[in-house]
Chains A and B, each alone.
Chain A
């Protein structure tokens, strides 16, 4: 069997991207802001998971973080 090439999925939707503000830069900044907000929450949730694992265990095992928050 040949080594399979990794399939890339598109990240951007086909179709015109509407801009709401007169200056597109504002739309881009809004995008960046909301993305950052989302990543900040992810990081805080991760931190919360780490703290919970640390509290319950003497030795830290990163894999336990995976099970902390209900999904």
Chain B
């Protein structure tokens, strides 16, 4: 039985059947995808690769070629087809209850206000094309859609989606943020940020980890999706987390120079573009005070994983509406960071190696599922998280 998701005052209610439908999707996703993933990996190493290399007399080490070879068989087609269907079913199971309860959810989001944190929206903000071109992750309506006044639907859907999507068995939804705080604790034990900015916060579920780790800090969170932010604000109020949400693009924010001691982002990078990411890093450089730290967590770049994993990663582009994924994964992140003004000696590329924290068992379980789904990074990086870190001179 999977651990139930942490409930809070903004959660969409579910009938017995609605809850079962969502739980099943989660189980299908985890168990079947895991089986498929290990099945196809085995097929690759046992049959496809040796057969190809014997026949051609050359190594099979280009992910595009691997894709071509893998898709000649039925197994991989089923795996990818299945992936896509489960993703669609997931959103189907999530959208109906939210649609049914939308007016009530909107009312609840207003009643939740206790002036702990704040919310600032900018209706004139120009939405980046890389976000609006397709509905990323196949979430109908994407990150930015608004269906009515004071809409919170995208956030409500996302809140339950992360629990289904989270490969881990845990009910924690701020785990990604905790991986960052544990990592920072390990390499910067002295760090005591006073002002923190989380970029691409979605509904602030990872931001919550920073509030918990540094309760006295002033925590800001930005995103471009208005419905995500409204929901995120109400959710944070419901959970008693003091977060200041605002609708701003990370490429260009309204904050003053040197405003922050710590800037974070979690899986924002690969959803931007090869043009936007350098702009975001420049903005970080501007926003950090001297000695301030930025840390961006995402999956590893292509040249950091073996060819088979390259193939698995680039698959996302095809079945999960991630149009910029593959191109982004070829960017030289260190170069982008030094080009933005960070001194080479102040730039770190590293992989999460969290051990011995109090959530170790849960993190290990998540790592295991994530690994078997083919999301693993090079050895020594448990959750497959890769960090790019810059310290302002």
Q: Which residues of A contact B (CB under 8 A)?
A: 4, 7-18, 20-21, 26-27, 30-31, 34-35, 37-39, 41-42, 45-46, 49, 65-71
**Contacts A9-B98, A20-B77, A65-B16 hold; do A38 and B25 have CB atoms under 8 A apart?**
yes
Q: Is B108 an interface residue (CB 8 A)?
A: no
Q: Smallest distance from the beta carbon of A61 to chain B beta carbons, Å? A: 13
The residue in chain A whose Cβ has the minimal distance to the Cβ of B137 is A13
The residue in chain A whose Cβ has the minimal distance to the Cβ of B141 is A10
Complex contact A13–B21 (CB within 8 A): no
Report the Cα distance A7→B23, complex, angstroms.
25
Residues on the B chain within 8 Å of A71, using CB:
4, 14, 16, 19, 23
The residue in chain B whose Cβ has the minimal distance to the Cβ of A14 is B135
Q: Is B153 an interface residue (CB 8 A)?
A: yes
The residue in chain A whose Cβ has the minimal distance to the Cβ of B80 is A20
Residues on the A chain within 8 Å of B82, using CB:
30, 34
Q: How many A-B residue pairs have CB under 8 A?
A: 110
Residues on the B chain within 8 Å of A30, using CB:
78, 81-82, 85
The residue in chain B whose Cβ has the minimal distance to the Cβ of A40 is B24
Tally of contact residues, B, Cβ under 8 A: 48
Q: Smallest distance from the beta carbon of A34 to chain B beta carbons, Å? A: 5
**Contacts A14-B134, A30-B78 hold; do A46 and B86 have CB atoms under 8 A apart?**
no
Pick from B20, B78, B91, B319: contact of A46, CB below 8 A. B20
Complex contact A18–B147 (CB within 8 A): no
Complex contact B24–A42 (CB within 8 A): yes
Report the Cα distance A32→B317, complex, angstroms.
23
Give 1 or 0 for each of B24-64: 1 = CB within 8 Å of chain A CB: 11001000000000000000000000000000000000000
Nearest first, the 4 closest Cβ-Cβ pairs linking A and B are A15-B134, A13-B135, A10-B140, A71-B19
The residue in chain B whose Cβ has the minimal distance to the Cβ of A41 is B24
Residues on the B chain within 8 Å of A69, using CB:
16, 19-20
Residues on the B chain within 8 Å of A65, using CB:
16
Q: Smallest distance from the beta carbon of B56 to chain A beta carbons, Å? A: 24
**Contacts A31-B88, A70-B1 hold; do A11 and B148 have CB atoms under 8 A apart?**
no
Q: Smallest distance from the beta carbon of B334 to chain A beta carbons, Å? A: 31
Pick from A7, A8, A21, A38: contact of B89, CB below 8 A. A38
Report the Cα distance A9→B25, complex, angstroms.
20
Residues on the A chain within 8 Å of B21, using CB:
38-39, 42
**Contacts A66-B15, A70-B1 hold; do A18 and B88 have CB atoms under 8 A apart?**
no
Give 1 or 0 for each of B317-339: 1 = CB within 8 Å of chain A CB: 01101010000000000000000
Residues on the B chain within 8 Å of A20, using CB:
71, 77-78, 80-81, 84
Complex contact A34–B89 (CB within 8 A): yes
* New A-B pairs, 14, CB < 8 Å, besides A35-B85, A45-B17, A71-B14: A7-B147, A7-B153, A9-B102, A11-B92, A11-B140, A18-B84, A18-B318, A20-B71, A30-B81, A30-B82, A37-B28, A42-B20, A45-B20, A71-B23
> What are 5 A-B pairs at a CB distance below 8 A?
A11-B91, A13-B142, A15-B323, A20-B71, A30-B85
Report the Cα distance A49→B271, complex, angstroms.
42
Report the Cα distance A60→B317, complex, angstroms.
50
The residue in chain B whose Cβ has the minimal distance to the Cβ of A16 is B134
Residues on the B chain within 8 Å of A46, using CB:
16-17, 20
Chain B CB within 10 Å — which of A13, A27, A41 has the most?
Answer: A13
The residue in chain A whose Cβ has the minimal distance to the Cβ of B142 is A14
Complex contact B134–A13 (CB within 8 A): yes
Q: Is B139 an interface residue (CB 8 A)?
A: yes
Q: Smallest distance from the beta carbon of A41 to chain B beta carbons, Å? A: 5
Q: Smallest distance from the beta carbon of A46 to chain B beta carbons, Å? A: 6
Residues on the B chain within 8 Å of A10, using CB:
95, 140-141, 145
**Contacts A13-B321, A34-B28, A38-B24 hold; do A4 and B103 have CB atoms under 8 A apart?**
yes
Q: Is B99 an interface residue (CB 8 A)?
A: yes
**Contacts A34-B86, A38-B89, A70-B4 hold; do A13 and B25 have CB atoms under 8 A apart?**
no
**Contacts A18-B319, A27-B81 hold; do A9 and B16 have CB atoms under 8 A apart?**
no
Report the Cα distance A21→B71, complex, angstroms.
9
Q: Smallest distance from the beta carbon of A65 to chain B beta carbons, Å? A: 5
Q: Is B312 an interface residue (CB 8 A)?
A: no
